[in-house]
Amino acid sequence: MNLPFQVNLSGKVVVITGGSGVLGSSFSEALAKCGAKIAIIGRSKEKVEHVASRIIENGGEALGISANVLDKSELEVARELIHQKFGTCDILINGAGGNHAQGTTDREFFEKGDLQKDFRTFFDLDEAGINYVFQLNFLGTLLPSQVFGRDMVEKERGTIVNISSMNAFTPLTKIPAYSGAKAAVSNFTQWLAVHMSKAGVRVNAIAPGFFLTEQNRTLLQKEDGSYTERAEKIISQTPMGRFGEGDELIGTLLWLVNEQASGFVNGIVVPVDGGFSAYSGV
């Protein structure tokens, strides 16, 4: 990975939830290249240890920890392990998130007669699926902020970066639960930034546009690698005419975690979307 620019994070302890995913692993490797000690948290022990091993092989310091972001007791155990290995948390990246099929409609628009057809309408959305999406995205951001934010307020310095989505600005069709949950993440980012402002902790968020990840690949690409109808529609509404690459979020991340570069930036949600949010479709 080639960094867009270098920042000095030597001695900083970074905790990244969802750090074994496509975007999270890019964040982990980039911050390690800046000299930070990286603690990667995810549900799969194998995946987080794989990312940590890759960082260590490249000369960095990393620790993979299996923990559920929805279980505060597991997060507190992770915090103790990180204290023992690296020290207290300086930077928290809340990258855990995702969608669920049971919180997604099959069609973009409800039409007369749909109730008699064999597909999932708005009225068929499952409460458990919707709850899962809100828990994972919103509570999965709040709980790590409680656990690792405690380190920051105790030393009166630190940075939290949440991962929101363009869905938080304008909801996409079919995914009401995910759009609503990410809107909650953006709102929480602003709330927590104000709440923590007197304690020396900054809180901001990145709102990625459309990036190919393992979670959405089957929705956006066919088996032969060509784009699905939904992917073609997204590309048509993205002025830059393509999906983003994971590394294209790194510059924004480095800016937000660097006190010299963004020390007076607090409570914002930065779109990184290839112009999607600026385009009216006409």
Q: Which two tokens stand for residue 59?
A: 């000369």
Active-site residue flag, 279: no
Marked catalytic residue, from 132, 178, 227, 279:
178
Q: Three-class SS of residue 126?
A: coil
Residue 57 near residue 103, CB atoms below 8 Å: no
C-alpha 140: how far from chain center: 10
Q: Say how far residue 102 (Cα) sits from the centre of its chain.
A: 21
Residue among 52, 137, 39 nearest 86 (CA): 39
CA distance 267 to 264: 10
Helix, strand, coil distribution of the chain in percent, nearest 5: 50, 15, 35
Phi, then psi, of 208 in degrees rounded to 5: -65, 145
Is residue 206 within 8 Å of 161, Cβ to Cβ? yes
Task: Provide the annotated active-site residues.
Answer: 178
